Amino acid sequence: MTSHRSKIVACVCLACALLASAPAFGEETSAPGTNKTHSAEETHTLSQNKSDQNKTDPNESSPTQQKSDPKKEPPPPQSVGQPPEKPKEGKPPDIATIFEQPGVLTPKGTLVLEPSFQFVNSSSNRVALSGYTIIPSFTIGLIDVRNVNSNTYVASLAARYGITNRLEFEVRVPYVYRADSTSFEPTKDPSGKTIPPTVFNAEGNNIGDVEFGPRFQLNQPGGNGPFFIASLRAKSITGKNPFEVSTDSTVTSPSGVPLQTELPTGSGFWAIQPGITAIWASDPAVFFGTLSYMWNMDREISGQGKLDPGDTIGFNFGIGVALNEKASFSIGYDHIILGKAKQNGHEIAGSTITQVGSLLLGCSYKLTDKTAINFSLGAGLTPTSPNVQLTVRIPTSFLLGGK
């Protein structure tokens, strides 16, 4: 009995020793080979930290719930107080102007004033050409000459206003000064008498034919597509026309036709010219071209019946290259086809289709953010085209409204 009691006491003591040496519930054991122990306070702190980590915020979901519930995903970052950006409208690139009509449209609310000066020299044995090089002037049955050397000076002011970013309206007012020198080769009159060579000089200056009309960008290409710009231009009869200038019966050609003592500055015929321009940017070059048709309206002339100077088909094309941020260079070709003239609905005897072709070189330099200077040089490539054509333009923009 005593032995059994001693064994039981020994087992109880051993159990108490084992319990005393065992770690408390929830306490991490130290790594093997270390003698680190934790006090009761440390054990309570560790247990509290673990319990806090196991608690979940009712406003937050677990990673598994966030993945399974797309509504809980955070929204993408946005700029506070700023509306989303709208896609900007593309506009044709700037190029050096070498043709009569510009390629770039005027921005909305912007006014562009463009003073220009042009000099044209031409020589031909066709009087109709001497008036047609700058203004479509067509003189019928007034002068019979062998050679005409013509110098034309045109100072003009053009104004363009951007109604929208894709629509503008343009007005151009020219002032024309002309000086012609007409020479006659030796000829014989009906009696057989030789008429010596003579030279007759004439000049004229006055306002020219005012031109006006809208231009509209047809498309908004995506990627590298071309821009198409439609235009509709009207030409008035504000200039002095060939039928109201004075002639001198004492000064005649060898065939006896009186010569004009004052030169016209206008054509004398209203005209409507629709056209379409294509501009295609291919960095660093810009390709451009225009196709147009001018309808010259006929009119009744006292003593000559109804006259029609003939319609005109025109086309041009070229390429422009930006040299740097301020300078650009362009080269192009311009061609005009003038139809046959008619009188009372019938073609005038001896009238032919006239071909006028010119090679043009141009450069542009940006003086300031709002002012540039354009210079172009034209050289005739057909017998009926002007010998040389020099043009200087200085466009300046003014912001009147809009953005």
If you write DSSP's letter for every residue of 225-286 in order, what string do you get? PPEEEEEEEEE---SPPTTSS-EEEEEE-TTSPEEESB--SS-SS-EEEEEEEEEEEETTEE
Between the CA atoms of 343, 137, 113 and 386, what dihedral angle is there, to the nearest 10 degrees? 130
Q: Is the pLDDT of residue 118 over 80?
A: yes
Q: Is the pLDDT of residue 120 over 90?
A: yes
Is-above-0.75 flag for pTM?
Answer: no
Q: Can you name the residues that pair with 119 across neighbouring β-strands?
A: 153, 390
> What is the arithmetic mean of pLDDT over 102-111?
86
> What is the arithmetic mean of pLDDT over 283-307?
91
Query: How far is the C-alpha of 116 from the C-alpha of 374, rounded, in Å?
Result: 9
Least confident interval from 54-63, 125-134, 142-151 = 125-134
Q: Kindly state the percentage of the chain with pLDDT values over 70.
A: 63
Q: Is the pLDDT of residue 139 over 50?
A: no
Residue 130's contacts (CB-CB under 8 Å, 6 or more residues apart) are 122, 124, 148, 150, 180
> What is the arithmetic mean of pLDDT over 122-129?
57
CATH for 1-22+104-131+143-399, options being 2.40.160.40, 3.40.50.10790, 3.40.50.300, 1.25.10.10: 2.40.160.40
> What is the arithmetic mean of pLDDT over 133-159?
66
Least confident interval from 135-139, 279-283, 353-357, 374-378 = 135-139
H helices present in 55-155, as ranges: 63-68, 127-132
Q: Is the pLDDT of residue 338 over 90?
A: yes
Q: Is the pLDDT of residue 326 over 80?
A: yes
Q: Which pLDDT value is given to residue 304?
A: 84
pLDDT tens by residue, 164-214: 999 999 999 999 999 998 777 665 555 656 666 678 889 999 999 999 999
pLDDT tens by residue, 10-48: 655 555 554 444 444 444 444 444 444 444 444 444 444
Q: Is the pLDDT of residue 367 over 90?
A: yes
pLDDT bin (cut points 50, 70, 90) of residue 127 is: very low
Query: How far is the C-alpha of 23 from the C-alpha of 37, rounded, in Å?
Result: 9
Task: State both tokens at 8.
Answer: 């039981």
Quickly count: other Cβ atoms within 10 Å of residue 79's Cβ.
8
CA distances for 172 relative to 77, 251, 315, angstroms: 52, 36, 21
Quickly count: other Cβ atoms within 10 Å of residue 39's Cβ.
8
Contact 298, 274 (CB under 8 A): no
Q: Is the pLDDT of residue 279 over 70?
A: yes
> What is the arithmetic mean of pLDDT over 348-371?
92
Q: Collapsing DSSP states into helix, strand and coil, what is residue 290? A: strand
Q: Which pLDDT value is given to residue 99?
A: 75
Contact 310, 326 (CB under 8 A): no
Residue 182's contacts (CB-CB under 8 Å, 6 or more residues apart) are 143, 145, 147, 148, 149, 199, 200, 201, 202, 259
Element spanning 72, H or E: none
pLDDT tens by residue, 225-237: 899 999 999 999 9
pLDDT bin (cut points 50, 70, 90) of residue 350 is: confident
pLDDT tens by residue, 52-89: 444 444 444 444 444 444 444 555 555 555 555 554 55
Supply the mean pLDDT for the chain: 77
pLDDT tens by residue, 200-227: 889 999 999 999 999 999 988 877 789 9
Contact 330, 365 (CB under 8 A): no
Q: Is the pLDDT of residue 359 over 70?
A: yes
Query: How far is the C-alpha of 235 from the C-alpha of 114, rounded, in Å?
Result: 18
Q: Which pLDDT value is given to residue 189?
A: 55
